[in-house]
């Protein structure tokens, strides 16, 4: 069954001009029973005669205006909210029936508008009238909204638990405040990010602003403490540069002097202790080595040889300087023009000096080794 724009049922038209008029009758349990009346009349392929259309419209209007017949709605009544039409409206429909038969289109629109009017009036809320969906009264809803927005109310939704870092030994002393829910507090303690954190309830925007202000104050105190620590560190560094380093340098110098004096005193004590005793075999060998080293060091031939090598080194350095100056004066072309005789002579001199230096190096190494052996024999390790 098709429905018009304003909720009134209308008959269906077949392809070859037959009309099917349907009428709905409500049952005792809210279900509608549909009665279908089929009228067949010969007509054109795309329409029906005007007399037959007017007869069908009059039949539909009579079915709509019948007081014992109501339209079925999704809620099982004649109207949208299961309310019947008032008697006054039925009388108006009976008075308007002759006019509707004269003008079928106007009667259809009028009947549909009259059927929608009680539906619209049923949607308007009136004081003391209960809602069809079992909703709370407006006053209770407003009160509930106010309680959710009011920070002083326990049912407010603007609650959040922040976490403060505390000492681990003071965790057992923390308890929920009188205005907090013990279950929510226990859940916040269970959800803490680390063992050293405890929940702190913030209710409303003012509590968050106070917490931010407290954090800002504590941060300023920390910054002030850091500035004081930096000032003290600067003072300690200046004192170290002006006093401590100078005193450490003096103490280091005095320590070197005392160490030399202690070493001299220990050597004298050892000499005095061993005075009057005969030398053993090891001491006699050590004495012989020391005497030979002393003779070699005091040999005038060694000093003369050293002076000779030194003079040759000076001459070689002067010769090298003169060659460098000559090369610089002649330029890059003169560098390749050195004679073979000069190169051979310079090479021979360098080889001789190298041999002499190797000999001196071997002698110095031998003397150093003998001196170390003498030092070990003189100061044997303590057992």
**DSSP assignment of 312-373:** HHHHHHHHHHHHHHHHHHH-TTGGGG--HHHHHHHHHHHHHHHHHHHHHHHHHHHHHHHHHH
Which structure tokens are listed for 255?
Answer: 């320590």
Res 125: pLDDT: 54
pLDDT > 60? residue 162 = yes
- Is there a domain that residue 90 lies in? yes
Measured distance CA(368)–CA(337) in Å, rounded: 46
Mean pLDDT, residues 17-36: 43
Alpha helices in 23-85 (DSSP H): 50-65
Least confident interval from 49-53, 242-246, 254-258: 49-53
Same domain, 119 and 6: yes
- Is there a domain that residue 237 lies in? no
- Is there a domain that residue 256 lies in? no
Q: How many other β-carbons are positioned within 10 Å of the β-carbon of residue 119? A: 14
- Is there a domain that residue 255 lies in? no
Same domain, 16 and 112: yes
Res 113: pLDDT: 52
Mean pLDDT, residues 259-284: 82
Top mean pLDDT of 75-79, 112-116, 187-191 is at 187-191
Res 131: pLDDT: 52
Top mean pLDDT of 24-33, 51-60, 63-72, 232-241 is at 232-241
Same domain, 64 and 115: yes
Res 126: pLDDT: 56
Same domain, 305 and 364: yes
Largest CA distance in the chain: 168
CB-neighbour burial class of residue 25 (10 A; exposed 0-12, middle 13-18, buried 19+): middle
pLDDT > 70? residue 315 = yes
Same domain, 118 and 6: yes
Same domain, 160 and 80: no
Same domain, 148 and 87: no
Res 237: pLDDT: 92
- Is there a domain that residue 89 lies in? yes
pLDDT > 50? residue 41 = no
Same domain, 349 and 374: yes
Radius of gyration of the chain (CA): 62
Same domain, 142 and 98: no
How many structural domains does the chain have? 3
pLDDT > 50? residue 23 = no
Q: Give residue 151's domain range.
A: 138-207
Domain stop point among 207, 225, 257? 207
What are the two backbone dihedrals, phi and then psi, of residue 45, each rounded to the nearest 5 degrees? Answer: -70, -30
Q: pLDDT band at 18, cuts 50/70/90?
A: very low
What are 22's strand-pairing partners? 36
- Is there a domain that residue 234 lies in? no
Same domain, 81 and 181: no
- Is there a domain that residue 143 lies in? yes
Res 357: pLDDT: 84
182 vs 126, which has greater pLDDT?
Answer: 182
- Is there a domain that residue 243 lies in? no
246 vs 368, which has greater pLDDT?
Answer: 246
Q: pLDDT band at 227, cuts 50/70/90?
A: very high
- Collapse the DSSP code of 281 into the 3-class scheme (helix H, G, I; strand E, B; otherwise coil) and give the result: helix
Domain stop point among 154, 185, 207? 207
CB-neighbour burial class of residue 111 (10 A; exposed 0-12, middle 13-18, buried 19+): buried
Alpha helices in the chain (DSSP H): 50-65, 87-95, 97-102, 104-123, 138-149, 182-190, 204-239, 245-273, 281-297, 300-330, 340-378
Same domain, 116 and 148: no
Domain stop point among 186, 207, 228? 207
Same domain, 55 and 165: no
Residues ≥6 apart with Cβ < 8 Å to 74: 80
pLDDT > 90? residue 217 = yes
């Amino acid at each position: 069954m098709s429905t018009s724009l304003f909720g009134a049922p209308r008959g269906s038209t077949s392809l070859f001009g037959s009309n099917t008029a349907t009428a709905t009758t409500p049952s005792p349990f809210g279900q509608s029973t549909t009665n279908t009346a089929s009228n067949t009349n010969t007509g054109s392929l795309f329409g029906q005669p005007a007399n037959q259309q007017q007869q069908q419209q009059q039949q539909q209007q009579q079915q709509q205006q019948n007081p014992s017949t109501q339209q079925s709605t999704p809620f099982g009544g004649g109207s949208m909210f299961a309310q019947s039409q008032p008697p006054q409206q039925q009388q108006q429909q009976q008075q308007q029936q002759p006019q509707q038969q004269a003008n079928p289109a106007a009667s259809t629109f009028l009947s549909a508008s009259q059927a929608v009017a009680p539906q619209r009036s049923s949607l308007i809320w009136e004081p003391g009238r209960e809602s069809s969906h079992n909703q709370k009264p407006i006053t209770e809803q407003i009160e509930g909204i106010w309680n959710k927005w009011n920070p002083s109310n326990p049912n407010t939704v603007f609650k959040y638990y922040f976490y403060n870092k505390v000492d681990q030994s003071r965790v057992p002393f923390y308890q929920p405040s009188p205005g907090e829910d013990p279950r929510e507090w226990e859940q916040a303690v269970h959800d803490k990010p680390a063992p050293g954190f405890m929940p702190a309830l913030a209710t409303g925007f003012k509590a968050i602003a106070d917490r931010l202000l407290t954090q800002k104050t504590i941060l300023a105190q920390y910054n002030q403490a850091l500035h004081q620590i930096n000032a003290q560190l600067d003072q300690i560094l200046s004192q170290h540069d002006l006093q401590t380093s100078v005193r450490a340098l003096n103490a280091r110098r005095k320590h070197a002097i005392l160490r030399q004096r202690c070493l001299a005193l220990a050597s004298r004590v050892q000499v005095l202790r061993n005075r009057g005793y005969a030398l053993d075999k090891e001491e006699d060998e050590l004495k012989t080595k020391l005497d030979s080293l002393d003779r070699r060091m005091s040999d005038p031939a060694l000093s003369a040889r050293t002076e000779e090598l030194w003079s040759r080194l000076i001459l070689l350095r002067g010769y090298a300087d003169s060659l460098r100056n000559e090369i610089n004066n002649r330029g890059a072309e003169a560098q390749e023009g050195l004679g073979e005789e000069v190169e051979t002579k310079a090479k021979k001199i360098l080889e001789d000096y190298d041999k002499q230096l190797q000999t001196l190096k071997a002698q110095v190494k031998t003397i150093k080794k003998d001196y170390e052996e003498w030092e070990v024999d003189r100061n044997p390790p303590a057992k």
